[in-house]
Amino acid sequence: MTDIRSAVDFYARHPISAEIIMAKLKEARGNLDGVKPEELFAHDQDHYGGLGVNDILAERALIKTGSRVADFCAGLGGPARYLAHKYGADVTGIELTPARVAGAGQLTRLVGLQDRVCVLQGDVMLVPLPDASMDAVISQEAFLHVPEVPRAFAEARRILRSGGRFAFTNWVAEQPLSEADRRLMWDGMAVQRLYSFAEHRKLLEAAGFLVVSAEDLTAEWATILEQRLAMYRTLRGEAEQAGTPAGHDAFYRSYVRLVELVQAGELGGGRFTAQAP
């Protein structure tokens, strides 16, 4: 049996936490005095592909100095801090899980970026930001957790100025999962409904966007996810030793199955870019 009821339950026990990040950072440098933003980047990027994919999203979203960026499902704020530090963007993260909002604030203050990065507790289906207030919206591998993706896309359109860009990555399924796999993905990773490439395009267009590009990332994710599974297994032991959340058994079972499904081409990933007219 599982007590996963939402993405909040999943991320509250996720093996990557602010506590484990700071423990690994302290182990690497001996203390936490005067930590620079780039020192966190080896530890705080909880998405597929590391720093390089942040740069790709920044390019797709036309992010530059002074850009006002919203990061949907911002987690612990790793990409937000990277975009603020490297590009000079002002980034507002929207994150549902209270523990991750608190952790994002702690890590952001640790590296002195609190004037450029703020992660708010909020729901991407009802974003606490004004209309036309952002130049870009980004997100990475998060909409799979959102109960009503059309509402989230509509919110991205609402907060973007005319000409603003929406760039994100998400899981893609061209065919529905089997009932056993669907249940495992819910129990392990709080996966909601998955969409095909064509369905992503239709949802973006229905929200009022012009679709700029849709890139198939499945082949590169097959390798990345296998590496991340090994990383999570290592982190589980480290988190247990540190007394921090270490994930739950169904998470590890579902991740093994995720790697199998992506390598078999039954599940995949996409990077989508759209523009507000």
Q: Per-residue pLDDT tens for 67-80?
A: 999 999 999 999 99
Checking DSSP bridges between strand 268-275 and strand 210-216, what pairing results, if any?
antiparallel
At residue 1 the predicted structure's pLDDT band, cuts being 50, 70 and 90, is very low
Length of the chain: 277
In this prediction, residues 144-168 reach a mean pLDDT of 98
Classified as helix, coil or strand, 263 is helix
Question: Given this model, what pLDDT does residue 269 score?
Answer: 98
Burial of 178 (0-12, 13-18, 19+ CB in 10 A): exposed
Question: Given this model, what pLDDT does residue 238 score?
Answer: 62
* pLDDT at residue 24 tops 90: no
- AA letter at 142: A
Question: Given this model, what pLDDT does residue 240 score?
Answer: 65
Q: How many CA atoms lie within 13 Å of 8's alpha carbon, on the beta-carbon side? A: 11
CA 221 to chain centroid, in Å, comes to 15
Average pLDDT across the chain, whole number: 92
How is domain 7-275 classified at the architecture level of CATH? 3-Layer(aba) Sandwich (3.40)
Question: Given this model, what pLDDT does residue 54 score?
Answer: 98
Helices and strands per DSSP (H, E), number in the chain: 11, 7
At residue 170 the predicted structure's pLDDT band, cuts being 50, 70 and 90, is very high
Question: Given this model, what pLDDT does residue 5 score?
Answer: 61
Question: Given this model, what pLDDT does residue 4 score?
Answer: 47
The answer to whether 77 and 93 are in contact (CB under 8 A) is yes
